[in-house]
Chains A and B, each alone.
Chain A
Amino acid sequence: GAGVSQSPRYKVAKRGQDVALRCDPISGHVSLFWYQQALGQGPEFLTYFQNEAQLDKSGLPSDRFFAERPEGSVSTLKIQRTQQEDSAVYLCASSLVGRWENSPLHFGNGTRLTVT
């Protein structure tokens, strides 16, 4: 596709449920990033992939958060045993080259997660 695609657009989960959020980056983009954006805040970095390698997961808030990109394209962010504080918009972004080459980030529309 022409842009970064994320699904679902909205997700409501009961506390304690597991959720999986999908990101389909721009074809050929090497780098993929996940961000968490709370209401009225800037995006906060969660994790970074270069192709299939997860090179940085320093932003993942707890071991309930897990991300993968097994074939270097589509990525999934999984949150286990969701808590209310996990409610946020989860943004995926991709860029053409590696992180340290500083190409612009192209964001998807995000998944709005609400934990009740």
Chain B
Amino acid sequence: GQQVMQIPQYQHVQEGEDFTTYCNSSTTLSNIQWYKQRPGGHPVFLIQLVKSGEVKKQKRLTFQFGEAKKNSSLHITATQTTDVGTYFCEAGTALIFGKGTTLSVSS
């Protein structure tokens, strides 16, 4: 069946460093969503990507959807302690979530 793989599983950075998480699918996706889950919290929607090669920005966050619509990335520039949490990608209509990348930030 369809799988969504996320790497890395964990990432620790110093505050101010950049961070990237990658999401790879075994099949072509119609769309992909990204969510953030703070420790002890619930997933919160960040963005939806639909078009091949799409790039969207939200302040320090940049989201990309690959040309083949099989992979996606989330890049955070100059991380802050408020960025701590687990970032999940979700393959839309299949409702499949990746296992997430847990980001920790030390100041």
Contact B48 A43 (CB under 8 A): no
Contact B95 A48 (CB under 8 A): yes
Task: Kindly identify which residue among B30, B41, B97 contacts A43, using a CB–CB cutoff of 8 Å.
Answer: B97
Query: Which residues of B sit under 8 angstroms from A104, Cβ to Cβ?
Result: 33, 45, 48
For the complex, give the distance between the alpha carbons of A41 and B97 in Å.
9
Q: Which A91-107 residues sit within 8 Å CB-CB of chain B?
A: 91, 93, 99-100, 102, 104-107
A49 within 8 A of B: no
For the complex, give the distance between the alpha carbons of A42 and B99 in Å.
4
Task: Kindly identify which residue among B45, B50, B97 contacts A42, using a CB–CB cutoff of 8 Å.
Answer: B97
For the complex, give the distance between the alpha carbons of A88 and B33 in Å.
23
B65 nearest CB across to chain A (Å): 13
Most buried by B among A42, A43, A106, A107: A42
B31 within 8 A of A: yes
Interface of B (DSSP majority class): loop
Can you list 23 A-B pairs, Cβ within 8 angstroms, ordered by A? A33-B95, A42-B97, A42-B98, A42-B99, A42-B100, A43-B43, A43-B88, A43-B97, A45-B95, A45-B96, A45-B97, A93-B43, A99-B93, A99-B95, A100-B93, A102-B50, A102-B92, A102-B93, A104-B33, A105-B33, A105-B43, A108-B42, A109-B42
Q: Which residues of A contact B (CB under 8 A)?
A: 33, 35, 41-45, 48, 91, 93, 99-100, 102, 104-110
